[in-house]
Structure 1
Amino acid sequence: MKKTGLFFGTFNPIHIGHLIIANHLAEFSDLDQVWFVVTPRSPFKKKDSLLDDYHRFQMVYEAVREYPRLEVCDAEFKLPQPNYTIDTLTHLREKHGDSRQFSLIMGEDNLKGLHKWKNYEAILDYYSIYVYPRLGPGDIPEALRDHPAISRVDAPVMELSATFIRKQHAAGKNVRPLLPEAVWKYMDEMNFYR
């Protein structure tokens, strides 16, 4: 059974920080693969700031196609909106349960709010969570600090955001070094975020 880490996000756009974290987990943890689960709409984000689902999926595909242990997943495109992680996990488990063991990948910033997620207790009961470090204030709720389902990963600290990239690109700044080359080319050709 393949251990597959699920890295959820809108990836609007995917950037080198995402790629570094995912590749680190694929290479230096017990995960066999990492799937980028492209989210059509996060319950915590406004939809109007998102590029079309297809374009964000295509940019992730372009970013990971030369990495055999990284893949892009569009499972959430077919599920009712807004998407909730527990529903996606249930769907993927029903579809791939015999061949894959799924785990979540999230930053410490997301772990701090996990107790607000729909059915978060079920996530902790049935799935492991790999947490990579983030800078920033705030405490992780006591119930999650030493939870057996949660593993902290000694991964690089990446303080880069898609919001920053979009804003700076729109302001005419050169953001090319912050993106995988194939993503930069796609984004530039399509004239996105200007």
Structure 2
Amino acid sequence: MKKVGLYFGTFNPIHIGHLVIANYMVEFSDLDEVWFVITPRSPFKQKQSLLDDHHRFQMVFEAIEDYPKLKASKVEFSLPQPNYTVNTLVHLGEQYGADHRFCLIMGEDNLKTFHKWKNYEVILDNHELYVYPRVSDGRLPDQFKGHEGIHQVNAPIMEISSTFIRKQHKAGKNIRPMLPDRVWKYMDEMNFYR
């Protein structure tokens, strides 16, 4: 059975912080692969600033081309909107059956609000969570402390965001070192975020 970590996000754009976290998870935990699940629209984010789904998928694809344990997934593109993680997990379970065991990868900031997710108890009962550190006070809700299905992975703290990259790129700043080279080339050729 293949153990797959699902790394959900809009990846608008994908940056080196995303790659560092995903690669750390697949190399230093018991995950066999990490799939970047490109979300068309999150229930918690506005869609206005999102690039077209196809372009964000292409940037993820470009970013991970040299990493065989990392995959790009557009599974949510064909699911009803808005996307809810619990529905995506059910769909993947039906599609891949007993060959794959799906886990969630999330920052500890998301774990703090996990109780607000649709059917979070169902997710936690059926899927493990791999949580990476984010800049925060480190306190987790009591209901998640010591939970056997939640694994805190001591991945590097990445203080970089897609929002920062978009804003600074539009302002004319050189953000190229924050992006995988192929992502930068694609972004530049397509004249995105200007």
Structure 2: where are the runs of 5+ without partners? none
What's the TM-score once normalised by structure 2's chain length? 0.98
What's the TM-score once normalised by structure 1's chain length? 0.98
Equivalent position SS for 1:49? coil
Aligned to 1:125: 125
In the aligned structure 2, how far is the partner of 1:133 from the partner of 1:97? 31
Aligned to 2:134: 134
Is the 8 Å Cα contact of residues 6 and 103 (structure 1) preserved in structure 2?
yes
Task: Please say which of residues 96-105 and 124-133 is displaced more in the overlay.
Answer: 96-105
Question: What RMSD over aligned residues (CA atoms) do the two structures have, in Å?
Answer: 0.8
Letter in 2 for 1:185: K
Letter in 1 for 2:171: A
Does 1:34 pair with 2:30? no
Aligned to 1:72: 72
Q: How many residues align?
A: 194
Is the 8 Å Cα contact of residues 131 and 151 (structure 2) preserved in structure 1?
yes
Is the 8 Å Cα contact of residues 5 and 104 (structure 1) preserved in structure 2?
yes
Is the 8 Å Cα contact of residues 112 and 138 (structure 1) preserved in structure 2?
no
Aligned to 1:160: 160
Q: Percent identity?
A: 68
Equivalent position SS for 1:94? helix
Task: Please say which of residues 143-152 and 111-120 is displaced more in the overlay.
Answer: 143-152
Equivalent position SS for 1:18? helix
User: 1:138, CA displacement in angstroms?
Assistant: 6.7
In the aligned structure 1, how far is the partner of 2:140 from the partner of 2:48? 30
In the aligned structure 2, how far is the partner of 1:150 from the partner of 1:183? 32
